[in-house]
A and B are shown apart, each in its own frame.
Chain A
Amino acid sequence: MNLLFDYFPEFRDGFLGTLSLTAASAALALILGIIMAGFRVSPIPPLRAFGTAWVTLLRNTPLTLLFLITFFVMPQILFPGTSPYKLAVGALGCYTSTFICEAVRSGIGTVPIGQAEAARSLGMTFFQTLRMIILPQATRTVIPPLSSIFIALTKNSAIAGAFSVTELFSVSKLLSDKGYPIGWIFLWIAVAYLVITFSISGLFRLLERRMEVSR
């Protein structure tokens, strides 16, 4: 107990760090993931190829390797001087977007083809159909896997701690370097993670209940 109170500012900063890292990368991943899913089902071959390449490349790369490339290669070529926080959001967001893309794509597959045919026979374009007809109806199916993906993202964000971003894992490293009992450190870190992950599951359960589409 003492440890938490003695180092409360550190724990608080770590918690907020993980929270903001997760939220920012989740937002990026969601936007990129939906765009990539749109690409992967689009009738335009180059877009489809790009979406497929994006998923294949990023999903199959170990996240740590992706971090190494993002932190040590990317700044040499593009975006020199970007803060570690932004680089971490970029790496986590792009990586997670591939999983979201696939979840959204499977959701799109559950919407009856007739919905798209009806929209297109009204003269709606492919992207209008996707945005106004298909995606809203796919949302419900996509919510349970999205929840899992975001929880995994929360825990994956720990890797950023090893790349000088302040978050929960970096706090645990700091305190264990100071020689405090590892059990207590981990306990409080774990509690902090659970607060975030339980909030995510709760939020998504709520969304799921709200989004019922009857057929």
Chain B
Amino acid sequence: MNKEIDEIIKNSESLIEMLQKIQKIDGYLYFERLFYLSEKLDMSLEDIYSTATFYNGFSFNMKGKYQINICLGTVCYVKGSKELSEEISKILNIKDGECTKDGKFSLDTTRCLGCCSMAPVMKINDDIYGFVKKEQVKEILAKYN
């Protein structure tokens, strides 16, 4: 496990880059790995933690196999994306930032995916869905099984 981190340290220019790569391994920042990173960099865990928590891009919670991101940028908001997130919460029985018990889906809201002219927009892993209607959510989720 630590070998991966050694590689990451060697090939990264900054702490943020390291954290981004570490997050890719587990889908979130696994604390044990940060311990090791802190030792290796001779940097306090507090410093690493305070940097990681500063950015929305880092998570300390487990993510689902399928990560759902609902865009809550201004345009999506005006076009009702909040209803999408509520609908998904209802269907999957999880709140924003949580993951289903079977580890399949996690739900997050994000500030603008830059696809504003297709608002409202949601993203599941790398698939972006535009002009999503509340009634379509169930159908879209069913694709991920």
Do A and B bind?
Answer: no
Report B's interface with A, CB cutoff 8 A. none
Report A's interface with B, CB cutoff 8 A. none
